[in-house]
Chains A and B, each alone.
Chain A
Amino acid sequence: MSTQTKTPLVPFDEALTRYEPVMGLEVHVELGTNTKMFCGCATEFGAEPNTQVCPVCLGLPGALPVVNAKAVESAIRIGLALNCEIAEWCRFARKNYFYPDQPKNFQTSQYDEPIAFDGYTDVEVDGEVYRIEIERAHMEEDTGKSLHVGGATGRIHGADHSLLDYNRAGIPLIEIVTRTIEVPGDKAPLVARAYVNQLRDLMVALGVSDARMDQGSLRADVNLSLRPAGTTALGTRSETKNVNSFRSVERAVRYEVGRHAGILDAGQKVVQETRHFHESDGTTSPGREKSDAEDYRYFPEPDLAPVAPSRAWVEELRGTLPEPPSERRKRLQAEWDFSDLDMRDTIGAGALELVAATVAAGAAPQAARKWWLGELARRSNDTGVDLADLPITPEQVAGIQALIDAGRLNDKLARDVFDGVLAGEGTPEEVVASRGLELVSDDGALGEAVDQAIAANPDVADKIRDGKVQAAGALIGAVMKQMRGQADAGRVRELILERLS
C-alpha cells in the first residue's frame, strides 16, 4: 500500500500549466471465438459458473494446450488493421505467478515475440488527427474470476471466503499496447477516449469481438505520468486498471493528471503502482504496489509449437480487412452530407458507428444523428453508461424513426417509446402497443376533440373565422392537451380550418 501522505488534487487545467501528461494505453480484447484459446470449451458469456471447463483450462495434471487457429487468425487481422508487422515466427511464453483464479499458476501469453508489432492508428479529436503508435498486439489467455463473499466491498479484504469461476479461464485475449502517447495536455483525456472508442469500432468492424466494455470484453488500462512542462525525461507512472467505459477512460486520465500534479507540487514522488478506477466518483485508489519483487520468470512455452503464419495467409487475411477508420470517416461524411461540425460532434460523442448502423437500418442520417447525439446522449450522461452500451440497438432507433416518418409517432411520443425500449419493455412496436402511444389521426375522435375546443374557446374561434389563421395554434394546443399529446397535429389543424372557414 502507498505510504505517502494525501496531497490535494490539482484542477486539470491548472496542472497543465506546469506539467505535460504522457500516456500509454493497454487494451485487452476478448475474442469472440466459439472456443477457448487452448481447448475446445465454449466461451459464452454468463453461463453457470464452472460449466465451460475441461482438463486443459482447469490446469489438471497432464493436460496440454493446443492453439486455437481462429484466434491466431483474429490476432493477425487485428494486427493488420492496426498497420502492424506480422511476425513470421513467434512463440508463446509462460508468465509465472501464483493466483487462485489462474489454474496453472502461469498465464500462457506472448512476451518478447508478439504476433503483431510496430503499427499505428489515427484517431480524430475535434477535427484534429492524432497518430497513436502501436508497440505490439499479442495473444494470451484470460484468467478465471474470483468472487469474494462476505465482505462489505466485494473485495478480498474483509471477505469470509472466495468462490472461483473458471469459465473465463482460457478465453482468448489480444492485448494491444501503445507506445507512449504525447499529445497536447488538454487533448489527452479525449485522445485516450477516442483511441479506445476507435479500437472498439475496429473490433466490431473486424467481427473479432463484441468489444463490450460493460461486459469486460474490452478492458482498458491507462498508464499515466507527468513531467514538468518543456522537459523530456519520463516521470513515474501509475497504471489504472480495468477502466470499463469510454467516459471513464477520459475521466481516469483527468483524475490522474490532477492527482500526480498534487504529489509533484508537494515535492513528493509518485509511487509506481496499479490503481482502481471508481465509476461512482471518478477517482482512483491504490491497488497492488508493483514492487521489484514481481518477477514473472517468463520463458518460452515448451508445450506449444511456434506460430509461423505464412506470408500468403497473411496477405489473404489482409484482403478481409474492413475500411480503415480515416477513410471510413471521410466516406461516411460525404454520404451523409454532414458538415465538418456535425461530423466532429458525432465522432466526439463516440456515435459514428451507431449512426452508421442506424442509417444502415433505414433512418435518414440527420435523424439518426439527432437521436444519438440528443436524446440518447442525454440519457448516457445521466446514467453514466456509454452510448454504445445503452440497452437499445441502432435497429431499434431506426425503427422508432420509421414510425415517425410514417406519421404514427411525433417526437414527443418517440421519447416515450425510447423510455420503454430502454426500460426493456420490448421492441418499439411493442412499446407503442403496450403503452398506447400511437398518434390519433382518426377523424372521428379528432373531430370530437376539435368541436369541444371550438366550443370552449369561442373568442379564438371568432378570430379564425375573421381570417386570423395563426390563432389556430391555441386551438391545436387545446386539442393536443385533451388528447394527451397523441393527436396528429397536422390533421387537427386541417379539421379546425375546415370547420371555421
Chain B
Amino acid sequence: MTTRLHAADLAAQLADGSVTSVEATQAQLDRIAAVDGDLNAFLHVDAEGALATAADVDARRAAGETLPTLAGVPIAVKDLINTAGQPTTAGSKILEGWVPPYDATVVGRLRAAGLPILGKTNLDEFAMGSSNEHSAYGPARNPWDTSRIPGGSSGGSAAAVAAFEAPLALGTDTGGSIRQPGAMTGIVGVKPTYGGVSRYGVIAMASSLDQVGPMARSVLDAALLHEVVAGHDPRDSTSIDAPVPSVVEAARRGDVAGLRIGVVREFAGEGFQPGVQRRFDEAVAKLADAGAEIVEVSCPSFTHGIAAYYLVMPSEVSSNLARFDAMRYGLRVSPEGNPSPSAEQVMAATRDAGLGDEVKRRIILGTYALSSGYYDAYYGSAQKVRTLIAQDFNTAFAQVDVLFSPTAPTTAWRLGEKSDDPLAMYLEDVCTIPANLAGVPGISVPIGLADDSGLPVGGQFLAPAQADDRLYNAGAALERLVPAPVLEEVVR
C-alpha cells in the first residue's frame, strides 16, 4: 500500500520501477475518496490533472529520462496558493469559484519537479485561525479524532498528510499555521526562514510574516520538498538571493551530539497542558542523553509576541484584503432593495456577504491600529516589540545553536470549544509567533501522544535566519529518539 509510505520511500519505489506514479496517485485519490468525507481536508480534488502529471512522469521515466527526486510523488496544496486552472478560494466565499490565471512560483516549481497535484486543501479563511473552524467551507477535522480540530490554518494539509491522503503537502505559516497543525496531527511541519520560499502567487494574509513551507510524515520528506520549493524568486522582492541551506543533507545527518539546545524559560508553566509538558520534558532528556548540551535561555520579549502579532498581522490584513472588492474578480453582491447601487455600495455589500467574522474582526482591528492618531501607539509600538524579539533571538543564538519548545501549549481541542473565545484561540500561537515576527525558521516534529489526552504533541526547534539546515538536523535526530506516533486509521 503506497499511501502509507514516506515520500522518500515512494520516490525510491518509483525510481526502481516497483510502482508507477499513476498507481501511487490513484491510490491517493482512492484514499481521499474513502476518508475525506469525514475529514473535509480537501476543498477541491483534481484527479484528472494529478493523473495526467503522473502519466507524464511515468512516460518520461520509461523513456530513460533522469527525473528530480520527488517526480511522481503526489502532493496536496493549501488552497491559499494559486494553481492556474484549478480553483483557489483561500477558504473564503469571496473567492468561491475563482480560478487563478497564473501559478504561484512554488506551484510552478512543483510542476517542474513532476509532483502530481492532488488538489487544494482546507484552511481557515485567508489563513486566519488556529483550528480550521473559520473555513467558509466547513472545518477540516483531525484524523486522530474527528470531533477535534486539526489545528490551523493549514489544517486541511495537516489532516491530509496525517490521514495518508497525501504523503506531502504545502502549507503557509504566518503565526504558526504550519507548525501548530503539524503538532496537532502528529506530522512534521516547517516554516522556512522568511524570504527562503517565494510568496509570489500565495494569497497574502500578512506580507511580512507569511511563509510557505513543507508538511510531511518525516523530517527527510519535509527536507526533500523544501529543496523543491525554496530558493530565490525575482518576482518576490522579499525573497533571499542566496543558496538554499542543504536541508536534505542535514535531515540525513540527524546528529545532536555536541549541539547546544536552548530551552526557552518563558514557554512553560501557566497555560501549558501537563500532558504536553511531560512529553516535552522527556524529549529534552532524550536529546541530552544523545549528547546535546541543554541550556536554559530567557527570551523575555517573547511574552509580548502575541500582542505585537495581533497588531502587525491585522494591520497588513486590512490592507492586503482590500482588493477583494467585486470589481475585477470573485464574488459580487448587489445591496438589497437598491436597483442602481454605486460601486462603493457593491463593494460594501460584497465584503459584508463574502467575508467571515474572523476576517472582519482582523480587518477592523488592523484598520483601527493604522488609523491616524493611533498608528504610533499600536502599529509603531508593535514594530518596536518585533525588534526586541529579534534581539532576544540574537542573544539566544549567541549562546545556543537552536531553541527548543513545545510547538503549542495544548493538544487538539474539540470543534467549537474555543469558538466563542477568540483570545483563547490566539494564545495557542504563543510559541510559534516569535519566529514569524523575527523571520527565523522553525520546525515542528511529533514527540508522542500526550498521556492526558491521547493526542499528538509537537516539539519545535527554532534556528537563526538562513540556518534552516539546523532545524532539519535537530529534527531528524529527535525523530529517531522519539518515534512519531502512527495513526492506524481515522478515528471517527
Give the B-binding residues of A (Cβ under 8 A): 55, 58-67, 94, 96, 98, 100, 103-106, 162, 164, 295, 297-299, 302-305
Q: Are B102 and A64 in contact (CB under 8 A)?
A: no
Jot down 18 A-B pairs with beta carbons below 8 A, ordered by A.
A55-B201, A60-B101, A61-B90, A61-B204, A62-B82, A62-B100, A64-B236, A94-B319, A96-B318, A96-B370, A98-B347, A104-B323, A164-B327, A297-B372, A302-B206, A302-B207, A302-B238, A304-B237
Q: Are B325 and A64 in contact (CB under 8 A)?
A: no
Residue from B81, B95, B322, B324 having most chain A Cβ neighbours under 10 A: B322
Contacts of A58 in B (CB 8 A): 328
* Min C-beta distance of B203 to chain A, whole Å: 4
* Min C-beta distance of B449 to chain A, whole Å: 37
Instruction: Tell whether A303 pairs with B207 under 8 Å between CB atoms, given A63-B200, A63-B201, A66-B235.
Output: yes
**Interface presence of B470 (CB below 8 A):** no
Contacts of B323 in A (CB 8 A): 59, 61, 103-105
Q: Are B101 and A297 in contact (CB under 8 A)?
A: no
Contacts of A299 in B (CB 8 A): 315-316, 319, 370, 375, 379
**Interface presence of B15 (CB below 8 A):** no
Task: Digitize B78-95: 1 where CB-to-A-CB distance is under 8 Å, 0 elsewhere.
Answer: 000110000010100001
Q: Are A297 and B235 in contact (CB under 8 A)?
A: no
Q: Are A303 and B372 in contact (CB under 8 A)?
A: no
**Interface presence of B26 (CB below 8 A):** no
Q: Are B318 and A297 in contact (CB under 8 A)?
A: yes
Q: Are B370 and A61 in contact (CB under 8 A)?
A: no
- Our pick among A61, A64, A298, A304 for the contact of B235 (Cβ within 8 Å) is A64
Contacts of A96 in B (CB 8 A): 318-319, 322, 370
Q: Are A297 and B203 in contact (CB under 8 A)?
A: no
Give the A-binding residues of B (Cβ under 8 A): 81-82, 88, 90, 95, 98, 100-102, 104, 199-204, 206-208, 234-238, 315-316, 318-319, 322-325, 327-329, 343-344, 347, 367, 370-372, 375, 379
Q: Are A305 and B238 in contact (CB under 8 A)?
A: yes
Instruction: Tell whether A302 pairs with B203 under 8 Å between CB atoms, given A60-B100, A60-B329, A164-B327.
Output: no
A67 to B235, CA, bound (A): 10
Q: Considering only CB atoms, which chain A residue lies closest to B328 in the complex?
A: A58
Q: Are B199 and A302 in contact (CB under 8 A)?
A: no
A100 to B208, CA, bound (A): 26
A162 to B237, CA, bound (A): 34
* Min C-beta distance of B138 to chain A, whole Å: 22
* Min C-beta distance of A146 to chain B, whole Å: 9
Contacts of A62 in B (CB 8 A): 81-82, 100, 104, 199-204
Residue from A96, A98, A106 having most chain B Cβ neighbours under 10 A: A98
Q: Considering only CB atoms, which chain B residue lies closest to A156 in the complex?
A: B342
Instruction: Tell whether A297 pairs with B237 under 8 Å between CB atoms, given A58-B328, A59-B328, A100-B327.
Output: no
* Min C-beta distance of B362 to chain A, whole Å: 14
Contacts of A55 in B (CB 8 A): 101-102, 201
A106 to B318, CA, bound (A): 10
* Min C-beta distance of A442 to chain B, whole Å: 67
Q: Are A61 and B95 in contact (CB under 8 A)?
A: yes
- Our pick among B95, B101, B237, B329 for the contact of A303 (Cβ within 8 Å) is B237
- Our pick among A65, A103, A305 for the contact of B328 (Cβ within 8 Å) is A103
Instruction: Tell whether A66 pairs with B328 under 8 Å between CB atoms, given A100-B343, A162-B343.
Output: no
- Identify 16 new A-B residue pairs, CB closer than 8 A, beyond the known A62-B204, A64-B204: A55-B201, A61-B82, A62-B81, A64-B237, A66-B237, A96-B318, A105-B322, A295-B371, A297-B318, A297-B371, A297-B375, A299-B370, A299-B379, A302-B208, A303-B207, A303-B237
Contacts of B102 in A (CB 8 A): 55, 60
Which 6 pairs across A and B sit closest by C-beta, in order of nearness? A105-B322, A297-B370, A302-B207, A302-B208, A62-B201, A61-B203
Contacts of B90 in A (CB 8 A): 61
Q: Are B316 and A302 in contact (CB under 8 A)?
A: yes
A100 to B326, CA, bound (A): 9
* Min C-beta distance of A164 to chain B, whole Å: 7
Q: Are A295 and B372 in contact (CB under 8 A)?
A: yes
* Min C-beta distance of A348 to chain B, whole Å: 43
Contacts of B201 in A (CB 8 A): 55, 62-63
Contacts of B236 in A (CB 8 A): 64, 66
* Min C-beta distance of A116 to chain B, whole Å: 21
* Min C-beta distance of B335 to chain A, whole Å: 15
Contacts of B372 in A (CB 8 A): 295, 297
Contacts of A303 in B (CB 8 A): 204, 207, 237-238
A98 to B208, CA, bound (A): 22
Q: Considering only CB atoms, which chain B residue lies closest to A166 in the complex?
A: B328
A297 to B369, CA, bound (A): 9
A104 to B320, CA, bound (A): 8
Q: Considering only CB atoms, which chain B residue lies closest to A292 in the complex?
A: B372
Contacts of A94 in B (CB 8 A): 319
A68 to B90, CA, bound (A): 29
Contacts of B82 in A (CB 8 A): 61-62
* Min C-beta distance of A168 to chain B, whole Å: 15
Instruction: Tell whether A98 pairs with B322 under 8 Å between CB atoms, given A61-B95, A302-B316.
Output: yes
Q: Considering only CB atoms, which chain B residue lies closest to A55 in the complex?
A: B102
Q: Considering only CB atoms, which chain A residue lies closest to B366 in the complex?
A: A297
A148 to B343, CA, bound (A): 12
Q: Are A66 and B234 in contact (CB under 8 A)?
A: yes
Q: Considering only CB atoms, which chain A residue lies closest to B343 in the complex?
A: A100
Contacts of A59 in B (CB 8 A): 323, 328
Contacts of B367 in A (CB 8 A): 297
Contacts of B375 in A (CB 8 A): 297-299
A302 to B379, CA, bound (A): 13
A66 to B234, CA, bound (A): 8
A65 to B207, CA, bound (A): 12
Q: Considering only CB atoms, which chain B residue lies closest to A59 in the complex?
A: B323
* Min C-beta distance of B136 to chain A, whole Å: 15
Q: Considering only CB atoms, which chain B residue lies closest to A294 in the complex?
A: B372
* Min C-beta distance of A480 to chain B, whole Å: 65
* Min C-beta distance of A451 to chain B, whole Å: 78
Contacts of A100 in B (CB 8 A): 325, 327, 343, 347
Q: Considering only CB atoms, which chain B residue lies closest to A164 in the complex?
A: B327
Q: Considering only CB atoms, which chain B residue lies closest to A61 in the complex?
A: B203
Q: Considering only CB atoms, which chain B residue lies closest to A105 in the complex?
A: B322
* Min C-beta distance of A382 to chain B, whole Å: 40
Contacts of A298 in B (CB 8 A): 370, 375
* Min C-beta distance of B91 to chain A, whole Å: 12
Contacts of B370 in A (CB 8 A): 96, 297-299
Q: Considering only CB atoms, which chain B residue lies closest to A306 in the complex?
A: B237
A303 to B206, CA, bound (A): 10
Contacts of A302 in B (CB 8 A): 206-208, 238, 316
* Min C-beta distance of B87 to chain A, whole Å: 12
Contacts of B208 in A (CB 8 A): 302
Q: Are A297 and B319 in contact (CB under 8 A)?
A: yes
Contacts of A105 in B (CB 8 A): 322-323, 325
Contacts of A295 in B (CB 8 A): 371-372
Q: Are B343 and A106 in contact (CB under 8 A)?
A: no
- Our pick among B88, B344, B379 for the contact of A61 (Cβ within 8 Å) is B88
Q: Considering only CB atoms, which chain A residue lies closest to B326 in the complex?
A: A100
* Min C-beta distance of B435 to chain A, whole Å: 17
Contacts of A66 in B (CB 8 A): 234-237
Contacts of A106 in B (CB 8 A): 319, 322
Contacts of A64 in B (CB 8 A): 199-200, 204, 235-237
